[in-house]
Amino acid sequence: MALGRLAKIARKLRLIAASDLATRDKFRYAMRWAGLSHRSADVITYRLRAGASVALRKGTTDYKVFDEIFVERVYARGLARLPGYLGHVTLIDLGAYTGLSSIAIARELAAVGTVVDEIFAVEPDPDNFRVLSENLRTARLANCCTAFRAFAGAEHGFAEVQDSGNGAWGMRMGPPSESGTPVFPLAEIAKSAQIDTPIVLKCDIEGGERQLFLHMRDWEHLIHYVLLELHTEFLSVRELSACLESSGFHWTMHGTAAEGAGIAFFLLERGLALPLGVSTMRCCSSTG
C-alpha cells in the first residue's frame, strides 16, 4: 500500500514537472496538490510558460479541471492524432468552463506547429464565464476569441443552467424555457469560422452531446475533428457509433472506453463524404 502511494506521488510530480506551468509555479502547484500550501486567497494565479497565466478559484472544481487538462493532459493524446500539416485551424470549445481547455488546446497545437486562428468558446454558467473571459485575456488569446454565454444545441431556444451536483465543472443544460440562457445551434457557430480553415470541435457538455450527435447531420459537414468527452450515462458508446454510422461522411473514432466507465475520451476524424445510401465508420482503438 505504501509503495503504491509513493508511486502515485512520484508519477504526479513527474507530470507537474513536465507540465506547461512556469518553473517557479510548478513548485507552487505541487505544494498545493500535496496539501502543503495554506494560502487563503479566493483566487490564485498560476503562470504558464511564455508569460501567460490562468486564475483558479479556491473551493471550486477549478483545480480538478486544471489538473485534468494541464497536468494529466487528457486532450493531448487526441491532439497527437491530428495530421501534422494542418497549419491553421479554428477551435470551437463547447463547455469551455473557465477557458482552461481553450488555452491548453491552443498551446498544445502551437507546440506542433498548428496555429489556432480563431476560438469560439461557449459556456453557459455566468460565474464560469466571467473567469473564462479573464483567463483568455491573461493567456493572450482574447484577440482571437469570441466567447458566448450560451448552450450549444440542435436548434435555437432558451434553457436554464442546471447543477448536476458535481460543482462548477458539471453545469448542464436544463429543460427548455421561455427565457434564460440562449441555446445556439452548433452549425450556426461553425458557420462563423473562417472559410476553408479546418475546425476542431472540443465537446464536454455534461450529457448535452446526446442532442448534438442525434442531429449531427446538421453540422457534420462543417466540422473536421471532434475532441469528445463522452458521458455514457446520456449517450452510450454504442449509440455514438450508431450516430457516426448514420452520417453522410466516413468517420474514424480513435480511443477506447473502459468497461462500465461513465466518461470516455475520443478523437473523431471526419473523412470523405459517402455516396447516398452507404454507411461506414472505422474504429481505431488505442490503449494507455
CATH number at residue 265: 3.40.50.150
Per-residue pLDDT of the chain (288 residues; tens, 9 = 90+): 577 888 999 999 999 999 999 999 999 999 999 888 766 789 999 999 999 999 999 989 999 999 999 999 999 989 988 887 788 999 999 999 999 999 999 999 999 899 999 999 999 999 999 999 999 999 999 999 999 999 999 899 999 887 766 666 667 777 888 888 999 999 999 998 877 899 999 999 988 999 999 999 999 999 999 999 999 999 999 999 999 999 999 999 999 888 888 999 999 999 999 876 666 667 765 543
Residue 45 near residue 55 (C-beta atoms within 8 A): yes
pLDDT of 5 = 85
Specify whether 223 is located in the same domain as 92: yes
Q: Are residues 136 and 253 in the same domain?
A: yes
Task: Give the model's pLDDT for residue 83.
Answer: 82
From the DSSP assignment, how many helices (H) and strands (E) are in the chain? 9, 14
* Segments forming the whole domain that contains residue 82: 73-284
Listing DSSP states for 105-157 in one string gives HHHHHHHTT-EEEEEEEE---HHHHHHHHHHHHHTT-GGGEEEE-SEEESSSE
> CA 109, CA 63: separation in Å to the nearest integer?
23
Q: Report d(CA 245, CA 229) in Å as an integer.
A: 19
**Secondary structure (DSSP) of 213-267:** HHTGGGTTTT-SEEEEEEETTTS-HHHHHHHHHTSSEEEEEE----TT-SEEEEE
Number of domains in the chain: 2
Residue 92 is inside which H or E element, if any?
Answer: strand 88-94
| Cell 503562470, located at residue | 47
**Which residues lie below 8 Å from residue 75, measured CB to CB, with a gap of 6+?**
69, 101, 104, 105, 108, 202, 227, 265
Whether residue 7 sits in one domain with residue 37: yes
Cα 173 from Cα 205, distance rounded (Å)? 8
Residue 197 and residue 115 share a domain: yes
- The residue among 48, 70, 92 that closes a domain is 70
* Cβ pair 166, 190 in contact under 8 A: no
Report helix angle 126-138 to 100-111, nearest 10: 30
pLDDT value at position 147? 96
Element (H, E) at 191: helix 186-191
User: Residue 77: its pLDDT value, please?
Assistant: 86
Same domain for 121 and 218, yes or no, is yes
Predicted pLDDT at 41? 84
For residue 180, give the DSSP letter: S
Q: Is the pTM of this model over 0.85?
A: yes
Statement to judge: residues 62 and 114 lie in one domain = no
Position 2 scores a pLDDT of: 78
**Tell me, what amino acid is at 32?**
R
Which residue do the cell numbers 476524424 mark? 269
Does one domain contain both 143 and 84?
Answer: yes
Q: What pLDDT does 52 receive?
A: 95
Q: Are residues 83 and 58 in the same domain?
A: no
Q: Is residue 65 domain-shared with residue 98, that is, in the same domain?
A: no
pLDDT of residue 176: 82
